[in-house]
């Protein structure tokens, strides 16, 4: 090829060996249209990437270069040649070499437009594996957070003067006192339903009097603590997650750390202590309310007056059933508080993240509470308690 092409931006000289391409002028956004016109004219003349690779390209006459011009230069020379020149061309300044290298790297990212077809079995197995891995990470994070909290609680027990009594009392009112009406209403209604169902079934066997045992046994051992824990998981765990998550989103947690304070001591311990105090008290209230609901149904449907109800319960129901129910209350309280606080610390910063982790806290708390209750029931049954 023995032709010479001249323009304001490119100069091709084929009279020398190797041929010489001089990049000149202002390769900027202001000259974008003119650059496109000159590049089209050069391609029409047969200046493809293979031809340019055999030429000597120099940039000594290049006056200005910006991102728009660099992208046009990349289109002319090709990704490979541009990358080589950005590393080896002596006529380019360091800034321009860096610009060309950046543009070349951005354009050289491989794009695969082919659709990968995977079988449904692989997708299902991959989803199961991902879910199992997520559950394992959640378990590890929960156990680690429990360890941190127990360590902080042990340190706080050795330094009673550092307890935040005001926060604990306020949280007891929020988690305990304010929850009494809903606990009383729910357990009373469930107690009435249990008594009504028991009376209906036991009447077929002439054993309606044992409805008293059914109501007292079920509420002392299971229903009171379980219903209270489920309500606290939906009411309190979500509140803890939303409170700490909002603080995380507003960078208040970072501010606490910058002041040299521990978020565990300042935010988690008062909530854990408040739950450990409130949950047993609410469980006791739930027991009394549930038994009262059952006693009302027995009085109205079975002609068992409250005095006789209490007498039968005193004779047939042992104290150990009450103790079994109360033992589980602190355990459930600790788990609910820990999960609520941990999910709050996981919030990434957006309102959507707060909602997602609040929902996760409720679901996890209810699931773990029911699982622990089932395990405890099996354990106490095997131990004969």
Mean per-residue pLDDT, 89-104: 77
Confidence (pLDDT) at 37: 81
3-state per-residue secondary structure call for 168-209: HHHHHHHHCHHHHHHHHHHHHHHHHHHHHHHHHHHHHHCCHH
At residue 169, does pLDDT exceed 50?
Answer: yes
Cα 219 to Cα 288: distance, rounded to the nearest angstrom: 9
pLDDT tens for 232-261 read 998 899 899 988 888 888 888 888 888 888
Joined together, the tokens standing for residue 53 give 């690779």
Domain ranges of the chain: 5-107, 159-383
Provide the b/e sequence for 241-278 (b: ≥16 CB within 10 Å): bbbbbebbbeeebeebeeeeeebbbebbbbbbbbbbbb
Query: Which residue from 63, 69, 60 is spatially nearest to 28, judged by alpha carbons?
Result: 69
Q: For residue 281, count CB atoms less than 10 angstroms from its CB and return exposed for 0-12, middle for 13-18, buried for 19 or more.
A: middle
Cα 62 to Cα 95: distance, rounded to the nearest angstrom: 13
Q: For residue 157, count CB atoms less than 10 angstroms from its CB and return exposed for 0-12, middle for 13-18, buried for 19 or more.
A: exposed
pLDDT tens for 344-368 read 888 887 778 888 888 888 998 999 9
At residue 191, does pLDDT exceed 70?
Answer: yes
By DSSP bridging, strand 20-23 and strand 62-65 are unpaired
pTM: 0.66
CATH 3.30.750 fits 5-107, yes or no: yes
């Amino acid at each position: 090829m023995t032709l010479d092409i001249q323009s304001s931006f490119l100069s091709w000289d084929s009279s020398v060996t190797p041929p010489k391409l001089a990049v000149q002028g202002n390769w900027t956004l202001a000259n974008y249209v003119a650059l496109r016109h000159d590049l089209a004219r050069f391609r029409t003349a047969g200046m493809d990437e293979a031809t340019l690779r055999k030429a000597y390209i120099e940039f000594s006459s290049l006056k200005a270069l910006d991102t728009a011009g660099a992208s046009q230069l990349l289109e002319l020379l090709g990704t490979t040649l541009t990358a080589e020149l950005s590393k080896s061309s002596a006529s380019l300044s360091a800034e321009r070499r860096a610009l060309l290298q950046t543009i070349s790297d951005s354009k050289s990212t491989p794009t695969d437009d082919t659709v990968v077809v995977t079988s449904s079995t692989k997708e299902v197995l991959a989803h199961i594996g991902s879910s199992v891995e997520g559950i394992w990470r959640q378990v590890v994070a929960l156990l680690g957070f429990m360890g941190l909290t127990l360590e902080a609680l042990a340190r706080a027990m050795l330094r009673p003067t550092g307890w935040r009594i005001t926060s604990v009392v306020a949280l007891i009112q929020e988690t305990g006192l304010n929850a009494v009406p809903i606990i009383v209403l729910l357990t009373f209604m469930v107690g009435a339903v249990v008594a009504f169902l028991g009376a209906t079934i036991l009447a077929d066997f002439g054993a309606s009097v044992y409805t008293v045992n059914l109501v007292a046994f079920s509420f002392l051992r299971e229903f009171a603590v379980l219903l209270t824990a489920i309500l606290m998981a939906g009411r309190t765990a979500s509140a803890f997650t939303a409170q700490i998550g909002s603080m995380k989103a507003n960078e208040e947690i970072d501010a606490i750390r910058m002041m040299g304070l521990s978020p565990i001591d300042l935010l988690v311990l008062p909530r854990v202590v408040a739950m450990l105090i409130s949950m047993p008290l609410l469980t006791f209230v739930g027991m009394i309310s549930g038994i009262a609901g059952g006693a009302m149904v027995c009085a109205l449907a079975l002609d068992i007056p409250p005095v006789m109800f209490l007498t039968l319960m005193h004779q047939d129901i042992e104290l150990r059933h009450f103790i079994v129910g109360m033992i589980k209350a602190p355990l459930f309280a600790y788990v609910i508080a820990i999960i609520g606080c941990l999910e709050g610390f996981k919030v990434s910063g957006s309102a959507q993240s707060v909602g997602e982790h609040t929902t996760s806290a409720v679901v996890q708390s209810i699931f773990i509470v029911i699982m622990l209750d089932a395990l405890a029931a099996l354990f106490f049954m095997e131990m004969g308690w």
